[in-house]
Each structure stands twice: as C-alpha cells, then as structure tokens.
Structure 1
C-alpha cells in the first residue's frame, strides 16, 4: 500500500507524462503538471523541486513500464530467430505511437540536459539486458541491436508513418549483428 506522499508523487508523475504526451516536453512545467494532476503548484514543487527531478521520475517510470511490456512481449516472441524477433520488436514498438513519442521526447532531452543522461543510459542498459536475457545475444551484439532499433524508431517518429518500414532491410541489419561472433 502506498503512502499518501507516494500516491501524490505517482499522480504527479502520471500527469507530467500526460502533459509531455499531449503538448511536448517544453510544455511540462510545474504549473502545467499541477493543473493536470489537480494538485497545488506548491505540492508539485515540494514533491519535485526541479523539472529535471520530475523528468527523471517520468523517465524512471517509463523505463519500468518499458521493461514490463518488453519482457511480456519477448516471453511470447523470443522463440523465433533473433533477427526476426528484433525486426518484429521494431514494428511492434512503432505501433505504440503515444508511448513511443513520450519516451523518445524524454530520451532525446538527455542530449542537452546532463542531469537526465544517467537515466537515459540506464534505459539503454535495461533494453540491452533484456536482449541478452531473452535472445542470448552477447553484450556487444545487444548494444548494436539497441542502437539500430533506436535509429529505426527515431526515423519512424520523424517520418510520422509517411514511409513504410522496410522489413527486409531491418532484418538484414539485425542478421548482420547477430551473425558477428563475440
């Protein structure tokens, strides 16, 4: 059971994610989040002194949700060859536009906001660890696979679905990665 303070933090984090999803990261201010969460501005700033603290909390929650959903997806799909699983993962993730847009908005913010970088790196490491665990990739293969995945997902976000994803191309890139022996 959550304490009242933990429940308030959770409400504020979910509200911040909603603001980011709807209006973008630049609109995610303490005031906007307080309004979205239905709490006072003082409550929001008491729980999260800085926007970086708040954005880190949103990223942490997104990482946890990513890990849970990806584990679930991999547990059902990991029986196929790794290059097929990785290709299907990219396609599956591209179908989740709301989640994808929010996650990448936060992830990309880490480029210009050093306080978000450790959380963004943790996200990469969680993804890599899942690929090592479920697909039996080496650490280097997982790192390369996550990098290729991120590139395709970023492209999908920027294309806004205007271009069809070339499954054959994606599969061949993943095939090359998994064929390299550690």
Structure 2
C-alpha cells in the first residue's frame, strides 16, 4: 500500500471513530432541545434534602443553579463538593421527557470523594476503583412513581453513557462515560 493511500485510509478511520463517539450526543440533543427550560426535582435518600431547580434555559446552563446542584450532590459522608457534569443533568432531564413524567429523582449517591469510594470498595465488590462518581460524572437514582427497570430501559435507550441496574437495591446508576450496561 502506498503511503498516500495509507494516510487517506487512516484519516477515514479517524473520522469514523469521531462520528461514532459523537452519536450518543446527537441522540441526547434530539431530546434536550435548545429553547425549553430544563428543570429537575431531587430528593436525597440519605440527607432528606429536596431540590427543585431549573439548571438551563434557552440552551444556556445557569451557573448559579449548577453551583447549587454541586452542593446538593456533594459527598454526603464527607461534605466534599465537586463539579457535576451538566451532561449528567441533561441525561436525567431527557429521561423524564422520554418517559413523559416530571417525577422527583431519588438520589442515593452523587459525587463521591476518593476516600468515600475506597471505604465503600472495602465493603463491597460492586464499587469501581475508578468510579465516575469521583469525577462528578455519575449518579445513582430512582424515579418516584416509576418502576426502576423502566428507568433503566429508558436510560439504555438514550445511549448517552453508562447504565447500571441494581435490582436488589432498587436503583439505577447513570453516568456520562462510555455507552455500556451492566
């Protein structure tokens, strides 16, 4: 194969890879829309705190709202705060649009500090060493009034990140990492 052909083939492969990686974002943008306010309601199962918040309007994230969400989804064990990936919020909002509901998200776990993650790992094999919770890219939830398996099915159908289903504990893990399920 000539050098020029090889380089051309490599460029095509790179473009194909980039398009394949962007596909889940296209699926999510179909739902999120640019002009509608994006509002979420949360109830934290450990702190018993509630939060009803519009985090984006006309396609623009509200920095004050995002800061409140960062605090709300803090590591409740250590009170450490970390930035939450706004795409995670968009996934939650898109799930509600797909399910045609505006129920409250029951939060089991948002951000986790490395210390908390290590403690949880020492107690359970189900906690990832490099958990995306430690990067503000994951949340464990239920959706009030909805069967957890249906919440899982909706998240999987969006193809916007990782989805873990924990039937025995009755929650769904959602993250903004690679599209995968467990």
Q: TM-score range by the shorter chain?
A: under 0.3
- What's the TM-score, normalizing by structure 2? 0.23
Which structure is higher in RCO with an 8 Å CA cutoff and minimum separation 6? 1
Higher helix share: 1
- What's the TM-score, normalizing by structure 1? 0.23
